[in-house]
Structure 1
């Protein structure tokens, strides 16, 4: 009988290099399909994996990592317009988040 050796732990620097090709929004959970962080979004009805994350996931990621220059809010605070929270974030916040990720 052979014994299996436990898998070696992967260092965080190697894991980061391997994930460099993924969209940075995959760092957060998807509110649309329920995909866990660092897992791809899926279409549940067809059980297919999407190449790009859902727009809601990208919005949550941008809200998590970037300040919004349009409405002057800090990360994790939703964008607002005339005192009402928006369902998504401003375009400038997407640009800030992409600049932060690069």
Structure 2
């Protein structure tokens, strides 16, 4: 058995999330649906159970903050639009999800 002495080396916040095994990168943001804190799992508000996936609203918020949208040509943090109108429910285009996943990889 190995003992560790002292505090572990500090890890920069920029890479801390990517070192967490098995977690979706969207968990780095708070969930707008169930109000889960960053790096905490989503819960179903009525029952308190944890779903296997993060909520769709959390994934959309993550894609919106991390990737540019190739469909409507907007910068990160800008909502997607169609013909000048913001998409209903703060959703994002499917290609923006792909861009966010490529950015996280």
- Say which SS state the counterpart of residue 42 (structure 1) adopts: coil
Where in structure 1 are there 5+ consecutive unaligned residues? 1-7
Greater fraction of residues in strand? 1
In the alignment, what sits opposite 1:36? 37
**Normalising by the residue count of structure 1, what TM-score does the alignment of the two structures yield?**
0.84
From the superposition, tell whether residues 10 and 33 of structure 1 become closer, same or farther in structure 2 (CA, over 3 Å). Answer: farther
1:29–1:36 contact (8 Å) kept in structure 2: yes
Tell whether 2:4 aligns with 1:12: no
Q: Could you list the per-position Cα deviations for residues 48-78 of structure 1 after superposition, in whole angstroms to 9, with x for gaps in the alignment?
A: 1122100000000000000000000000000
**Normalising by the residue count of structure 2, what TM-score does the alignment of the two structures yield?**
0.81
Q: Could you list the per-position Cα deviations for residues 21-74 of structure 1 after superposition, in whole angstroms to 9, with x for gaps in the alignment?
A: 100000111000000111000012111112210000000000000000000000
Q: Could you list the per-position Cα deviations for residues 4-30 of structure 1 after superposition, in whole angstroms to 9, with x for gaps in the alignment?
A: xxxx56732694465131000001110
CA RMSD in angstroms, aligned pairs only: 2.1
Tell whether 2:93 aligns with 1:94: no
Within 1, Cα distance between the matches of 2:18 and 2:85?
39
> Which 10-residue stretch deviates more, 43-52 or 56-65?
43-52
2:36–2:42 contact (8 Å) kept in structure 1: yes
In the alignment, what sits opposite 2:25? 24
Tell whether 2:66 aligns with 1:85: no
